[in-house]
């Protein structure tokens, strides 16, 4: 991203989250997390299971309340952003409604928000075009491959024009060939919309290929152990993964992790 006039979209200050386990003991999931994320930036949250990356994502989304610290998004609280329906969510499973056709699935959030029929249809068509599913608009989810279902899920997440797109290991259940196609589809949609993306993964190569910065979380308790700038040129194609610099960045990220391998 350009270094000039970057606007901070998300500001996280001294964030800590503590849970109580089944034995009644306090377990610190996150501690002292400080991070500023710029508007239009693609941020990867990387780390092993149990490091707190999904807890951090949920805290930004107002699905988890911090124990200490605070989060502001465009100067507002996560709750205020959530109530405005300005988060887009993409999880591991597409969670499409089987009885609604693909286009109707994409229209659903707009239907709930009271968009007119014409507005819903126009926006859904635009999103389908963006993710390359226009010709599958009248198919049911069961008629699509797993990768195509996830593309429909991404289109739905973009449909309400969110400030921030929150993605929790969205490609982890897919095979490598499908993942690589979706990487390119996601980056194309991101460039077209200039949305801020917070992307949770435990895959180092995935994090390096997609993001502007990789935020490495280490466990016990979860903390931000490193932030690695990814200076690969954009737009990115899969060929960049074969370059020496890509390998150097993967190694740099791996070496920045405290407490063992990811």
| pLDDT tens, position by position, 67-115 | 999 999 999 999 999 999 999 999 888 889 999 999 999 999 999 889 9
Looking at the fold, whether 177 and 69 belong to one and the same domain comes out as yes
Q: Does residue 174 share a domain with residue 248?
A: yes
Assign 197 a pLDDT band (cuts: 50, 70, 90). Answer: very high
Do both 193 and 217 map to the same domain?
A: yes
Q: Are residues 145 and 52 in the same domain?
A: no
Let me know whether 168 and 221 are in one domain. Answer: yes
DSSP symbols for 155-220: HHHHTT--SEEEEESTTTTS-HHHHHHHHHHHHHHHHHHT-EEEEEES-HHHHHHH-SEEEEEETT
Has residue 183 been placed in a domain?
Answer: yes
The number of domains in the chain is: 2
Domain boundary at 132, 161, 190, which?
161
pLDDT band at 4 (very low <50, low <70, confident <90, very high): low
3-state helix, strand, coil in the chain (%, to 5): 40, 25, 35
Residues 174 and 212 occupy one common structural domain? yes
Residue ending a domain, choose from 161, 179, 194: 161
What pLDDT does residue 219 have? 83
Q: Is 198 found in the same domain as 118?
A: no
**Cα–Cα distance measured from residue 69 to residue 14, given in angstroms and rounded to the nearest whole number:** 5
- Return the HEC string of 14-39: EEEEEEECCCCCEEEEEEEEEEEEEC
The answer, yes or no, to whether residue 186 has pLDDT greater than 70, is: yes
**CATH number of the domain that residue 204 is part of:** 3.40.50.300
Q: What pTM, to 2 d.p., does this model score?
A: 0.91
Q: Measured between alpha carbons, how far is 15 from 67 in angstroms, rounded to an integer?
A: 8
Same domain, 64 and 170: yes
End of a domain among 116, 144, 161?
161
Residues 154 and 175 in one domain: no
The first and second tokens of residue 22, run together, are 């089944």
Do 81 and 100 belong together in one domain?
A: no
Enclosing H/E stretch for 73: strand 68-73
For residue 204, being part of any structural domain is answered with yes
Does one domain contain both 148 and 218?
no
Share of the chain above pLDDT 90, in %: 79
**What was the pLDDT predicted at 94?**
82
In a domain, 38, yes or no: yes
Band of the pLDDT at 225, cuts 50, 70, 90?
very high
Say if 261 falls within a structural domain.
no
Going from the C-alpha of 245 to that of each of 2, 249, 250, the distances in angstroms are: 20, 6, 9
Residue 3 falls inside a structural domain = no
Q: Are residues 103 and 72 in the same domain?
A: no
Residues of the domain holding 139:
96-161
| Closest to 164 measured CA to CA, from 199, 191, 212, 192 | 199
């Amino acid at each position: 991203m350009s270094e000039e006039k970057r606007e901070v979209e998300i500001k996280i200050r001294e964030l800590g989250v503590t849970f109580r386990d089944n034995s009644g003991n306090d377990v610190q999931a996150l501690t002292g997390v400080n991070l500023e994320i710029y508007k239009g930036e693609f941020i990867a949250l990387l780390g092993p299971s149990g490091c707190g990356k999904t807890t951090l994502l949920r805290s930004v989304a107002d699905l988890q309340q911090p124990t200490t610290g605070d989060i502001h998004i465009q100067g507002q609280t996560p709750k205020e952003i959530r109530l405005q329906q300005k988060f887009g969510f993409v999880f591991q499973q597409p969670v499409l409604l089987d009885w609604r056709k693909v286009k109707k699935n994409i229209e659903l959030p707009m239907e709930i928000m009271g968009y007119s029929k014409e507005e819903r249809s126009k926006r859904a068509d635009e999103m389908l075009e963006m993710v390359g599913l226009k010709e599958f608009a009248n198919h049911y989810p069961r008629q699509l491959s797993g990768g195509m279902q996830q593309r429909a899920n991404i289109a739905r997440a973009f449909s309400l024009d969110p400030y921030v797109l929150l993605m929790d290991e969205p490609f982890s259940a897919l095979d490598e060939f499908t993942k690589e196609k979706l990487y390119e589809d996601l980056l194309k949609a991101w460039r077209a919309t200039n949305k801020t993306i917070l992307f949770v993964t435990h895959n180092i190569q995935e994090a390096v290929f997609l993001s502007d910065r990789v935020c490495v979380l280490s466990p016990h308790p979860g903390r931000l152990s490193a932030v690695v700038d990814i200076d690969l040129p954009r737009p990115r194609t899969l060929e960049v993964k074969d370059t020496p610099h890509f390998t150097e960045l993967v190694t740099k990220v791996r070496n920045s992790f405290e407490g063992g391998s990811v």
